[in-house]
Structure 1
Amino acid sequence: MELPPPLFLFIQTNKRCNLRCEHCDFWKLDDADRARYLGPARRHEVLAEFAGMNPLGSVVICGGESMLDLEDYFHISRTCRELGLTCLSVINGTRVRDEATAERMIREGPHGISVSLNSHRPALHDRTRGVKGAFGKAVAALRLLLAARAPGGDTGINVMGLVFDENYLELEDFYAFVLDELGADKLKLNFLQPSFGQMELVDPFFAAHRDVDPDRLVEVIRRCDQRFRLGLNPLWLHQVHMYFSTLRACPDAARGWGSHTRTPEHICNTYERNIMVDHYGVARLCFSGSFPGMRLDKPGDLRLFWREAEFVRAAMRGCNQFCGISHSVRRETSTCASRRPAALFPAARPAAGVARIIPLHADRGG
């Protein structure tokens, strides 16, 4: 079977952030080693090579807060537009402060923009995001972006929500705020998982906020599906239930990424469709450094990595870590309308060992 091309290229721009989110450690980092980052010229070559592999592919701009570096941010989005690629981005909204910036985002920024919100309640968002006033800035950014988009415009403007113990029973009000009061295109649900960039042995947020009753969560989501006509995917909903059933009973959740607990079902397929390129130009099939990657030193290396990484895919087919529920990597999409084929690759063959180490608006759910 011929290897299908990747669907998404995730490209990281920076490591710092201007919020202090409890579920992320990136704000504790900095860009002191920026001199080692992938430069604009080489980044353009990587994007062009990806376009050659899949002219219909999508590029996702990643951070930190990627909009803290506007020159890099708009260089990527403009390059994607020039190459005919779809560009996507999740932002915290703090840098979209005025009409001019919002208009620039619509004119030359990503084709799909998601603003992160942890809740429709300002106090909960601000507390978990670690900065007072963060909610107001995020909502203001959404309103500015929606106002800047011309009627019938094709820029997707969404909200990316985090679901955890303090807000899961309020999802119906959350949907109403996002879809009806703000008028955004979608509320995309991301679920609690080990903290991004976890730097310590203990992950306090993951451990403290996992008490989500899977039965009640599914009941609430089904009610939202009926009320807002979301067209949700029942397979995805089953996996959400399974995920939180496992997480709620997890005996070592305080270890976060170091937890030995695994989901009983394999719910990730990032290795079938994604390439993640980090700040230094190292390509991987997921965000984790647990699997081998390859440095993209010269033209042709992206194709080489994708073609030669089958031994990595074989190992990843047995990975059942909690991050499999992430919006970026989960096998099942939340809506039936956006559902991908069940499998892009043939069934995994047992791996005998590692041979070598390679140094937008049709539905309202997410």
Structure 2
Amino acid sequence: MRKTLKLAAAILASNVRRLAFPYKLTLILTYRCNLRCQMCNIWQREAHGEMSVEEYDRFFSRNADFSWVNVSGGEVFLRGDFAGIADVIMDRCKSLYVLDFPTNGVMTDLIVGGVERILARGPKKLIVTVSLDGDETVHEELRGVKGSWEKSVRTFARLREMRSGRFETYLGMTLTPRNFDKIQETLEAVRGRIPDITADELHVNVAHQSEHYYENAGMASLSQRETEEALRWYRAHRRRRLHPVAFVERVYQSRIGRFLATGKTPMPCQALSASCFVDPTGVVYPCSMDNVPLANLRDHDYDLRRIWNLPHVVRVRENIERGRCAQCWTPCEAYQTILGNLIFRPSPARTERMDDAVAEVRNEFGKGA
């Protein structure tokens, strides 16, 4: 309950002011990848200078107040020490509410064993997304490796058997000009292996460009009209209306059309307030899209709070508030942005009342946002 209330207090506070410390961290462990995706060039990047388990231990010892850690890559399971890093996160972050990560699903036994190991540690909530971008033909065309579709579906099927109140797993489909109209076909193909799969088990997002992360500037963009038509079928077949993840996804999808039409983030972004991004070498960025390196953790004794309040970091946050950023609508950034815009931007008096409410939660249930 304490972890839940602390996250709720941070989300509440993020609606009215810049947080003194982010509740969400996007942590990229590696650029190593065993697929060759068309919409992402991470697999072409050299993996060098990655932070070690010891460095992550030092980092999370000094920055233990995250409620939500999103770990990603590359393929996280290509790091032989991934289990050790996950242990560090769970050991140090006493307020951790959710740990989540994607996987391409190719190394089935390694992935399933890794998830079992993490679950044995008793996390509050673990969410694993297995990437799947179409039926076998489309997926393998986009992902560049024969046999990857079958392996991904097999991995998802095995993870699905492990679902519980604290473990959720989904398929993740990234929409591109090649597959935006293949949502229904993708589900039908998976039903050949998992007959009872539903649309609620498929998460859909739109492909993005990022100079510093994906290194895919110049990638073809989606059409607003055609994408909205494809999403209309998808939304009509989803049934989980009250689930928290389903709520955030529903808001996310309802704003995709506006983003594609304008190229602008549909609501005020929460980067450098509710969240930030750290690359494999310890470089801190505002988010996964904005190519603005702020500082390296190694140069600041792994102290994110010190970096958080540097004058140039504060200025970057002010620019983000004014809409002077990369402009995106990727789930990595959109979900906390949605949660940070649940209420209208308040007057100073309302801000004071909100701060009082947050303080009450902090006093009763421990250190808050």
- TM exceeding 0.5: yes
TM superposition score category, shorter chain reference:
0.7 to 0.9
Taking the aligned partners of 1:345 and 1:4, their CA distance within structure 2 comes to 18
Among candidates 28, 52, 61, match of residue 48 of structure 1: 61
Q: 1:275 to 1:100 in 2, by over 3 A?
A: closer
Among candidates 40, 43, 46, match of residue 24 of structure 1: 40
1:316 equivalent in structure 2: 320
Residue 303 of structure 1 aligns with an amino acid whose one-letter code is R
**Deviation sequence 1:131-177 (CA, Å, 0-9, x none):** 01111111111112122x16x34111112211123332332444564
2:206 equivalent in structure 1: 191
Which runs of no fewer than 5 residues in structure 2 stay unpaired?
1-16, 242-246, 348-369
1:255 equivalent in structure 2: none
Per-residue deviation, 1:263? 2.9
Per-residue deviation, 1:62? 1.9
1:306 equivalent in structure 2: 308
**Deviation sequence 1:282-309 (CA, Å, 0-9, x none):** 2222135632412223557211122332
Q: 1:137 to 1:294 in 2, by over 3 A?
A: same
Q: Percent sequence identity over matched residues?
A: 21
1:245 equivalent in structure 2: 261
Taking the aligned partners of 1:275 and 1:170, their CA distance within structure 2 comes to 32
Given the two structures, how large is their TM-score scaled by the length of structure 2?
0.72
Taking the aligned partners of 1:93 and 1:344, their CA distance within structure 2 comes to 40
Checking the alignment, whether the CA contact within 8 Å between 1:276 and 1:285 is kept in structure 2 is: yes
Residue 314 of structure 1 aligns with an amino acid whose one-letter code is E
Checking the alignment, whether the CA contact within 8 Å between 1:168 and 1:217 is kept in structure 2 is: yes
Residue 58 of structure 2 aligns with an amino acid whose one-letter code is E
1:330 equivalent in structure 2: 334
1:274 aligns with 2:275: yes
Q: 1:97 to 1:300 in 2, by over 3 A?
A: closer
Taking the aligned partners of 1:282 and 1:182, their CA distance within structure 2 comes to 39
Checking the alignment, whether the CA contact within 8 Å between 1:268 and 1:331 is kept in structure 2 is: no
2:182 equivalent in structure 1: 170
Checking the alignment, whether the CA contact within 8 Å between 2:285 and 2:291 is kept in structure 1 is: no
2:236 equivalent in structure 1: 226
Which runs of no fewer than 5 residues in structure 1 stay unpaired?
247-261, 348-366
Aligned length: 311
1:80 aligns with 2:89: yes
Per-residue deviation, 1:97? 2.7
1:256 equivalent in structure 2: none
1:295 aligns with 2:309: no
1:157 equivalent in structure 2: 169
1:90 aligns with 2:117: no
Taking the aligned partners of 1:180 and 1:265, their CA distance within structure 2 comes to 36
Checking the alignment, whether the CA contact within 8 Å between 2:209 and 2:289 is kept in structure 1 is: no
Q: Secondary structure at the match of 1:67?
A: helix
Return the structure number with greater relative CO, CA threshold 8 A, min gap 6.
Answer: 2
Taking the aligned partners of 2:339 and 2:199, their CA distance within structure 1 comes to 21
1:103 equivalent in structure 2: 116
Q: Secondary structure at the match of 1:287?
A: coil
Taking the aligned partners of 1:344 and 1:46, their CA distance within structure 2 comes to 35
Checking the alignment, whether the CA contact within 8 Å between 1:66 and 1:91 is kept in structure 2 is: yes
Among candidates 76, 81, 89, match of residue 66 of structure 1: 76
